[in-house]
Chain A
Amino acid sequence: MKPARFDYIRAGDIAEAHAALADHGNDARIIAGGQTLMPMLSMRLVRPKIVVDIMHVAALHGIAASGADIRIGAGVRQAELLAWPGLAEHLPLLHAALPWVGHAQTRSRGTVCGSAAHADPSAEIPLCLLALDATLELSSRRGRRRVTAADFFTGMMTTARADNELIEAVRIPKKPAGAGYAFNEFGRRHGDFAIVACAAVASGDTTRLAVGGVADTPALHELGALGGKELDDALDAFAWALDARDDLHATARYRRELVRRMGRATIEEARACRD
């Protein structure tokens, strides 16, 4: 269980990373924290010609408040964000969800943007980015663009990133006054990818529920101010629309049921903590 051969380059700046991506396209793989890429390399599921290490690019580091957003660079590790003093105030949903990402021993290396790039449908970070209407900053030699999380996650481990593009950062809107947030997850063991994870954002008369672990991508549903049986019906329709996965760990029917029940509980929790 050893990786196949590849070249390695430690990019010193963004241009160097862009150059490697431009030259090799899908045969190049960015490594940041490596917590997901490394097992795939060792199992030879992924066989890049070149691995581009971006963790020494100074411009990719740092968490910054930028207008209404918090900008998290591609070099920011999950543990670093979890320890960031502004997290609970500005990004309370991530404050609740990050402890569910792997284990302390993997959060220490794994990056926020790396989790987004990998786009595992059961991962917590893509789910939160979707719930929070975050934007990904992509760049290549040819230019820069921004893609919303809703447009970014296109399928099972598949994203809108072009082969020559680097995720430079993710921008997440700061918590608006009065919004309430909640996160719940169920997995077989603590630290596992979710069987079902729910993230809810409630603000005024709007309620957004995002669920992960159920379908090939995290999915978002707007539930407005619905309550009572109407909310149950809406969640039921959402659950059925998800094309829920049936696997070793849980049936599709089970996943749908958790969307209904855990989804409702999460919405109520988020509404209750609106301030």
Chain B
Amino acid sequence: MSSVANSTQWCGQSVERVEDAALLTGRGRFIDDLGVKPGTLHAAILRSPHAHARLAAIRTDAARALPGVAAVLTGADIRTLSSSLVVGVKAPVECWPIATDRVRYVGEPVAVVVAASRYVAEDALDLIDIDYEPLPAIVDPVAALDPAAPVLHDGLGANLASERAFRYGDPEQAFAAAAHRIAVTIRYPRNSCTPMETYGLVAEYDAAEDAYDVLANFMGPFSLHAVMARALKVPGNRFRLRTPPDSGGSFGVKQGVFPYIVLIGVAARVTGRPVKWIEDRLEHLAASVSATNRVTTLEAAVDADGRVRALAWDQLEDVGAHIRAPEPATLYRMHGNLTGAYDIHHVSVRNRVVLTNKMPTGLNRGFGGPQVYYALERLMQRIAVELELDPVDVIRRNLIPSGRFPYRTATGALLDSGDYVKAFDIALKDGAFASLRERQAKARAEGRLYGIGLTAAVEPSVSNMGYITTALTPQERRKAGPKNGAQATATVSLDPLGGVTVNVASVPQGQGHRTVLAQIVADDLGLMPADIRVVTDFDSGRDAWSIASGNYSSRFAAAVGGAAKLASGRIKARLARMAAAQLNVGVDEIEFAAGKVRARGNPDNALPFTRLAATSHWSPGLVPVENQALRETAFWSPPELTAPTEGDEINSSLCHGFIFDFCGVEIDRVTGAARIDTYVTMHDCGTILHPGMVAGQVTGGFAHAVGAALYEEFAYGDDGSFLTGTFADYLVPTAMEIPAPLILHLETPSPFTPLGAKGVGEGNCMSTPVCLANAVADALDLDAIDLPLTPAKLAGHIHGAERAPPQRPAAARTGKGRALHGVGEARVDAPPETVWRMLLDPGTLAAIIPGAHGVAKVSDTHFRADVTLGVGPVTGRYKADIRLSDLDAPRAVTLIGVVTGALGDARGAGRITLTADAGGTRVTYDYDAEIGGKVASIGGRLLDGAAKVVIRQFFAALVRHTGGAKPGFLARLFGRGA
């Protein structure tokens, strides 16, 4: 052991991380870096190209017959061997990890192939043949509430999955008495923190013991262990869940691997072999988890001076296609914090949860905070603008006054500590707010678009496992039994050479837990951090854990660090008693320092720590049982985390940091691009254990927030097609896009945690998006602005009305779907009757449908064809189904075509009109087409191009076939994607 004399306090220092040497030399141990047992098989998953469709038939014979394929599983197989995942609201609805009767979002698993290699498994996916019967999709959460909207889950009868109303104080009276009522409505978009390592797992099933053993880069919360064990139909002690030593980031997202643990677990059971599945990036973007999108209307009752007396929240939460555990947690995580950093006594809330045909939602850094603060802090800016007040004054006037902590919010949170006004004032001064105002004035004088944004926020951490039950009524909660608390665990053990090992169930994903725990325990036992070995790979069969275990809700520093301190303290107390007996001094005289246990007044009267620590292994007979020190496990659940009250007050989190941000943003007049000129972020996260890591959490969270504000969105077409299926369309910012924020701190320790620490990693994801939006709104003088703040969106507010086109306009359409619209005309040297006959003739159709391999006539007005379509090198074989309707011989006909294939599907309708024209025919057409499927997700612009090419080819061929090709025909066509 390398202990040397020291009097250093390790906590509070930016020591080098113990994790880094291995990670920097390529010796990390991430899940896909670990070897597997001989005979391990590899899974690949076939996913739905449709947002909503009935599964009419799944043919897997060809896939099963491919050499190397061990099994092909569909929803029916999974239903046989598992049960539905438990759903977090009281509703007659199931949640399976694979589609059973229908698909409800693009990317939903439909079949699993298990094969000798991933390459072969993907070959087999190509051979699975599925008949989908498309259903209308619902994408917009407001539209989903319409009684006429398509319903996703028949058991619910509608798309509304949960609705609750809450009332705190006397909001009606406050609104009635208010000088002003000011409101905002916002639509928070979907996004995800997309960790660099995707999901991965290796599952095994032991038939002899009816037990599962799964290694996965899951991150908790381990309440989901119970969900998985129940789905796999085994007792908790027969579902052993382990995690690898390293995990490549999570930010909440790796909670979402849990349905795949069930899915691949069943695959392992069916094949009798270990099965490994590593999610690829396309799967991750389409079908891991997303943060929720939310539509919020927030209204304030405001005094003339900007003081807010009451808030009325109306939140419509979109959880996607399933209510997957732990949803609707995103909506309730912030419930105690709906008044933010402000002293507001009266609150009403309406919360609704709705289902739509999009990826199911789950944990994501900030978890509910970004959605809440976007509404609240946009509102604070609107109050300042509408009442012509300085936004600085409006925030300051409403902050919870100094000296009022712990402070109980109207909705039930107990804000543990802080001095918000002091932190606010320090930030304005040290962040040079006055000079930012000068900078803005100068920019504006030069005609530049420059705005300033401000945001105050409370950052909750260490969530109360009971908050989610606020989604239930008090009666439902009484029936289910109260849920509360947040058990943290840590084990400290001594080995026979006196070494110290710490085991925790915190499941780090890069946050340096091993380093910080070594600091904490080294301080406690008077050792060097290098003397402490910390083990964080987790094993539910061996480690101490509880449902709150895991790496979420910024709980590490406050809860896990605290539990380690408690466990270490218990070991220390035993060692101290042992040492007191040996050194002949009182226990209160014993100190641990410099690798020694010694008498405080006489440092020479000392024992080496290692010798004392080894004693209970070698000579237990010499030590009274109560002094023996071998291993201590501490469980810690703070008493402040109580269940929701009968009045629905909930202390949703234990710790509450404070953030105050401000920024200057300039908008380019030509491109509409927003440039962050300066960004200041003040944090009070209690006691700082490791400044370097705290800085890393802030800059990392800030980068995620800049991404969410300016670049990233999981976008869907109106038909539910998924539009951001690659990192070329889901835009994660790089070093070129992320500036360095100025970080300021105030430390007011939490009285509720053993080390005074609070969480810090999520705050900027809550504060920064709205701070940037406030600056943009200021720069462009906008009443309302939603994320992401894309250049094209902002330019729409700068460029003004467009000059009229010099010639005939293309049909004006906007939107981000895959809808195509086009019109065109051509002249043919044949009379309308001839053209008409040709259009109804399979022989003609075979000749003019691009890439047709033959046309089969089903009826006079219904044809089927196999076609090869493509653009450039991207070609594929498709089935085309063509129907003619609204026949008006020989004047007009509507062609309805549906094309389906592995790369995507398209449906379109075109009205063709024939007009006699000087012995020939004028053919005009007008079409609409929608495109979905794989290519829509990963290369939408390819599809637009392809569809336009195909449609043009069709009409060009029609003209050619009738002998009427005219020079410049194509040049006269115009159509555009919309």
| Residues of A participating in the B interface, judged by any CB pair closer than 8 Å | 1-5, 26, 29, 37, 39-40, 43-46, 48, 118-119, 121, 155-159, 186, 188-193, 195, 216, 236-237, 240, 243-254, 256-258, 261-262, 265
Contacts of A158 in B (CB 8 A): 871-872, 949
Residue of B nearest to A157 (CB): B872
Contacts of B814 in A (CB 8 A): 246, 251, 253
The answer to whether A257 and B945 touch (CB under 8 A), given A190-B734, A190-B736, is no
Residue of B nearest to A186 (CB): B671
Q: Which of A1, A39, A261 contacts B670 (CB 8 A)?
A: A261
Q: Which of B122, B792, B949 contacts A156 (CB 8 A)?
A: B949
> What separation, in Å, do the CA atoms of A156 and B871 have in the docked complex?
7
Contacts of A195 in B (CB 8 A): 791-792
Q: Is A256 within 8 A of B802, CB to CB?
A: yes
Contacts of B872 in A (CB 8 A): 118-119, 155-159
Q: Is A254 within 8 A of B670, CB to CB?
A: no
Contacts of B122 in A (CB 8 A): 1-2, 4, 44
Q: Is A156 within 8 A of B806, CB to CB?
A: no
Most chain B CB atoms below 10 A, which of A191, A249, A261, A265:
A249
Q: Is A236 within 8 A of B946, CB to CB?
A: no
Q: Which of A4, A118, A246 contacts B976 (CB 8 A)?
A: A246
Contacts of B938 in A (CB 8 A): 43, 45
> What separation, in Å, do the CA atoms of A118 and B942 have in the docked complex?
12
Contacts of A254 in B (CB 8 A): 672, 791-792, 795-796, 799
> What separation, in Å, do the CA atoms of A256 and B724 have in the docked complex?
23
Q: Is B802 within 8 A of A257, CB to CB?
A: yes
B601 to A: closest C-beta gap in Å: 63
Contacts of A216 in B (CB 8 A): 945, 948
Contacts of A262 in B (CB 8 A): 670-671
Q: Which of B123, B280, B723, B799 contacts A248 (CB 8 A)?
A: B723
| Residues of B participating in the A interface, judged by any CB pair closer than 8 Å | 118-119, 122-123, 126, 280-283, 670-673, 711, 715, 723-724, 726, 728-729, 731, 733-734, 736-737, 790-792, 795-796, 799, 802-803, 805-807, 810, 813-816, 871-875, 902-903, 935, 938-942, 944-946, 948-949, 974-978
B800 to A: closest C-beta gap in Å: 9
Q: Which of A189, A245, A265 contacts B944 (CB 8 A)?
A: A245
Listed from nearest, the 6 A-B pairs whose CB atoms lie closest are A156-B945, A157-B872, A1-B280, A254-B792, A250-B792, A190-B736
Contacts of B792 in A (CB 8 A): 195, 249-251, 254
Residue of A nearest to B668 (CB): A186
The answer to whether A157 and B728 touch (CB under 8 A), given A45-B903, A189-B736, is no
The answer to whether A40 and B874 touch (CB under 8 A), given A4-B123, A188-B791, A246-B978, is yes
B735 to A: closest C-beta gap in Å: 9
A118 to B: closest C-beta gap in Å: 8
Most chain B CB atoms below 10 A, which of A40, A118, A195, A248:
A248
Residue of B nearest to A45 (CB): B874
> What separation, in Å, do the CA atoms of A158 and B946 have in the docked complex?
10
Contacts of B974 in A (CB 8 A): 243
20 examples of A-B residue contacts, CB within 8 angstroms: A1-B281, A5-B123, A44-B126, A44-B902, A48-B873, A156-B942, A189-B711, A191-B734, A191-B736, A237-B806, A243-B975, A244-B976, A245-B976, A246-B976, A247-B940, A248-B715, A249-B729, A249-B792, A252-B978, A254-B796
> What separation, in Å, do the CA atoms of A3 and B737 have in the docked complex?
32
Q: Is A258 within 8 A of B671, CB to CB?
A: yes
Contacts of B815 in A (CB 8 A): 246
B811 to A: closest C-beta gap in Å: 11
Contacts of A188 in B (CB 8 A): 711, 731, 790-791
B755 to A: closest C-beta gap in Å: 40
The answer to whether A192 and B670 touch (CB under 8 A), given A246-B978, A251-B792, is no
Contacts of B126 in A (CB 8 A): 4, 44
Contacts of A119 in B (CB 8 A): 872
A243 to B: closest C-beta gap in Å: 6
Q: Is A247 within 8 A of B941, CB to CB?
A: yes
Q: Is B945 within 8 A of A155, CB to CB?
A: yes
A50 to B: closest C-beta gap in Å: 13
Residue of B nearest to A156 (CB): B945
Residue of A nearest to B283 (CB): A1
Contacts of B123 in A (CB 8 A): 4-5
Contacts of B803 in A (CB 8 A): 236
Contacts of A46 in B (CB 8 A): 873-874
Contacts of B281 in A (CB 8 A): 1
Q: Which of B736, B874, B976 contacts A157 (CB 8 A)?
A: B874
Q: Is A186 within 8 A of B734, CB to CB?
A: no
